[in-house]
Structure 1
Amino acid sequence: MELRVLRYFWTIAEEGNISRAAELLHITQPTLSRQLMNLEEELGTQLFIREKKRLILTEAGLYLKDRAQEILSLADKTEKEFENQKKQLFSGVISIGCVEANSSEVLAGLLEEFISEYPQVSFNMFSGTGDDISEKLDKGLLDIGILLEPVQTDKYESISFPDKERWGVLVQKNSFLAQKEGVRPEELYGVPLMCSARPEVQRLLEEWMSVPINEMNIVGTYNLIFNVFPLVENQVGAALMIEGASLNLKNEQTRFIPFLPEVSTECVFVWKRHRVLSPVTNAFIKRVAHAFKA
């Protein structure tokens, strides 16, 4: 006999009416009626006498109601005690590194929910490049990292974010490229470009343009995109980046133009393989895995 079914029976007994009980339990009346019939069949006895619009408990029903009250009260008390104990004992700090991408908003939502449930938990947030975050993960200075592909993940356990990031160029709003809905490789030939210093990103650009990096008009490289916005505004060059980084900063003097054909990559949630993590970190990883599977 399940606790759920006992709760259904007890609510019906209290209300004396299937419709009102179904409303309180937030289930349909036919479902509740079927559950009651199954319970009576399981116990081999009638629990209610149907009189007009009211249900009257039989002797067996009265006995079961008393026992159900005891069982449900004990179950509720036990569950509450475990919940209180979990909130008191479950504490610690999670150190997280995150690149500039839309994934930061997803991470913020998950952290807000987690910390609301476990008020003893706190976090340290580090923003940086993928290389910075990988280095700190390897040294044990970070528990978790949010990295942007292309990235080497063979030494990490990883979970892919559900949404992909589009690549393109950030241009000044008066640039001829700003009028386009998408930019093709041939339209960037000779255009002054600023690109990430990461070799993986430069290879991505080479593959899309089908041109070696040393034959492009690369006027500069950067690590954090925040520093590039003033350069784009002053038309020093167009900056290669992901769409999420431009949306987060919401600069009215610039515009993001996606690549055509489209190039998209995933953000990945990573932690060091074979490293012993704290219970708090493990619980947060499980929360993320569950959220992304939902």
Structure 2
Amino acid sequence: MDIRVLRYFLAVTREESISGAAESLHMTQPTLSRQLMDLEEEIGKKLLIRGNRRITLTEEGMLLRKRAAEIIDLVEKTEAELMAPDEVVSGDICIGGGETDAMSLIARIATDLQRSCPNIRYHLFSGNADDVTERLDKGLLDFGILIEPADMKKYDYIRLPATDTWGLLMPKTSPLAAQPVIRPRDIWDLPVITSRQSLLSNEFSGWLGKDFEKLNIVATYNLVFNASLMVAAGMGYALCLDKLVNTSEESPLCFRPLEPRLEVHLDIVWKKYQVFSGAADRFLKQVQNAFHKEAGAV
């Protein structure tokens, strides 16, 4: 499967037409059509549905679009690392993480490093632990920020000197807003909006004293901002971490911590035996210097 042809395929999915893609690629329409037909023949699957007005994708085409984008990202990342000049620390550092106030620690390290290495560029990816580890495993990220609990078997890591607190996000008009804390019995019958992170259910089951899946879960999220919109609209109450949503005096929402208190630690992780670019290696040394005494360093 040729990288060049994958770029052609992505251009067609972006433009939703052979003619539009051919124009953007500066090639003739018959040549592009031939390349796409050869790709379908090579794979043995139909990828494109050629309509009168626009091109749409088959199920196999949608899968290839996702994989092709990941492959192109990895190729471009590798090329940038290999072509970076030796005498100057430069290049791209890709960091993924969930929404957490601890990202401010990483931001401070990156800012400090930027003063001595201004040619480093940072690329941030937001997602839950499942999203981040998938991209780490594919080599699309150099580092991930994971909220515990997380499966760490494949990673080296350093625990960050920060904890986040779980609680309930709700409208200020809710009767529960009058309470300083939220106890398990308070949410048993509530419509709950919860994170999609797969390992959290065991953690919350222990806190609840009952199976987490027996809650009235009406929605899940991987970005808490979207969950906050559902809370504001009256859909339910969001289990989330503190300090991520505006709960100031002007906001219609408020946050109340869980009781017994449920706190989580955070780790910066990378693949075992990872071969880093010069930029990523410099960043890791900066992290190690900042947190070298933290438990969990490997």
Distance in 1, matches of 2:99 and 2:272, equals 24
1:288 paired with 2:255, answer: no
* Letter matched to residue 160 of structure 2: F
What are the Cα deviations for residues 41-93 of structure 1, in whole angstroms up to 9, with x where unaligned? xxxxxxxxxxxxxxxxxxxxxxxxxxxxxxxxxxxxxxxxxxxxx99522221
* 4+ residue segments displaced more than 3 Å: 247-251
The residue aligned with 2:205 is 206
Identical aligned pairs, as a percentage? Answer: 33
Distance in 1, matches of 2:184 and 2:150, equals 23
Gaps of 5+ in 1: 1-85
Question: 1:248 Cα shift?
Answer: 9.6
TM-score with structure 2 length normalisation? 0.66
1:92 paired with 2:112, answer: no
The residue aligned with 1:110 is 109
1:195 paired with 2:225, answer: no
Indicate conservation of the 8 Å contact 2:246/2:253, yes or no. no
Question: 1:214 Cα shift?
Answer: 3.3
Question: 1:199 Cα shift?
Answer: 2.5
Query: What does 1:127-276 correspond to in 2, within 5 Å?
Result: 127-246=126-245, 252-276=251-275
* Letter matched to residue 91 of structure 1: S
Distance in 1, matches of 2:221 and 2:116, equals 39
Richer in helix (by share): 1
Question: 1:182 Cα shift?
Answer: 0.9
Indicate conservation of the 8 Å contact 1:88/1:120, yes or no. no
The residue aligned with 2:67 is none
1:147 to 1:247, Cα distance in 2 relative to 1, 3 A: farther
Gaps of 5+ in 2: 1-84, 294-298
What are the Cα deviations for residues 168-199 of structure 1, in whole angstroms up to 9, with x where unaligned? 11111111111221111111121111112223
Distance in 2, matches of 1:87 and 1:250, equals 52
What are the Cα deviations for residues 246-281 of structure 1, in whole angstroms up to 9, with x where unaligned? 369998121111111101111110110012111221
What are the Cα deviations for residues 191-231 of structure 1, in whole angstroms up to 9, with x where unaligned? 11111222311221111001112321211222221211111
SS of equivalent to 2:167: strand
The residue aligned with 2:10 is none
* Letter matched to residue 88 of structure 2: L
SS of equivalent to 2:244: helix
What are the Cα deviations for residues 20-42 of structure 1, in whole angstroms up to 9, with x where unaligned? xxxxxxxxxxxxxxxxxxxxxxx
Indicate conservation of the 8 Å contact 1:172/1:234, yes or no. no
1:267 to 1:244, Cα distance in 2 relative to 1, 3 A: farther
Indicate conservation of the 8 Å contact 1:194/1:240, yes or no. yes
Indicate conservation of the 8 Å contact 1:87/1:119, yes or no. no
Aligned residues: 209
